[in-house]
Amino acid sequence: MHLTPAVVAEERAWVRERAPVVVALLNETRAELGERFETDVATVDPAQYRREVDEVFADGDRAVNVAALVGLLRELDVEGDYPGFVVDELLGRELAGTIAGNQPLRTLGEATFHYADVLTEADDDDPAGLDDLDAALAAGFQTRLPGWEWTESASPFAVEPSDAE
């Protein structure tokens, strides 16, 4: 794999074009998690998703890593699939966390990846990594995007800075 700014732009375009699949999985994941945690979670539309994709790829340091992980997962296939199970899970979890952002969102994105991964399945003709890629995109972007009540206000654990030295 050789990454250049042009390759990163191509991966961004692919991720944006994947909106119909990713947004459907993202909203299904949110609905399942909302039900499980007894809370209402806002749905996401394709335009919100695409804007957030643009935001992720506007950060060049993050963009090159996201592009690399997307490229690897899009092409990843292992003969017999099972021996590759761990590597596609590893790459998917890392992609979800990288998209989600800094802590604690990173850990939530990684954890949500496994939940979203259970909700998706690749077609027999698809590379083994494609369903993990869709799950990672859904998990990472659902974590970044607003819609969870707890992210809409300041944390009650924030400590005000002290003037004392």
Tokens of 70: 């997307």
* 132 found inside a domain: yes
- Looking at residue 119, the DSSP 8-state letter turns out to be T
Tokens of 142: 């659902």
User: Percentage of residues in the chain with pLDDT exceeding 90?
Assistant: 65
- pLDDT one-digit tens code per residue, 99-117: 999 999 999 999 999 999 9
Kindly tell me if the per-residue pLDDT of 77 is higher than 90.
no
Q: Which residues make Cβ contacts (< 8 Å) with residue 3, sequence separation at least 6?
A: 64, 67, 68, 71
Q: What is the pLDDT of residue 124?
A: 66
Q: What is the pLDDT of residue 164?
A: 67
* 163 found inside a domain: no
In whole angstroms, give the CA distance from residue 80 to residue 121: 16
Q: What is the pLDDT of residue 123?
A: 72
* 83 found inside a domain: yes
Residue 7 contacts residue 71 (beta carbons within 8 Å): yes
Domain ranges, residue 76? 5-148
* 139 found inside a domain: yes
Kindly tell me if the per-residue pLDDT of 163 is higher than 80.
no
Domains held by the chain: number:
1
* 162 found inside a domain: no
- As a whole number, mean pLDDT of residues 121-125 equals 72
* 116 found inside a domain: yes
For residue 150, the one-letter residue type is: W
User: Pick the residue with more confidence: 80 or 65?
Assistant: 65
Q: What is the pLDDT of residue 120?
A: 86
- As a whole number, mean pLDDT of residues 54-60 equals 97
In whole angstroms, give the CA distance from residue 134 to residue 23: 9
* 160 found inside a domain: no
pLDDT band at residue 147 under the 50/70/90 scheme: confident
* 130 found inside a domain: yes
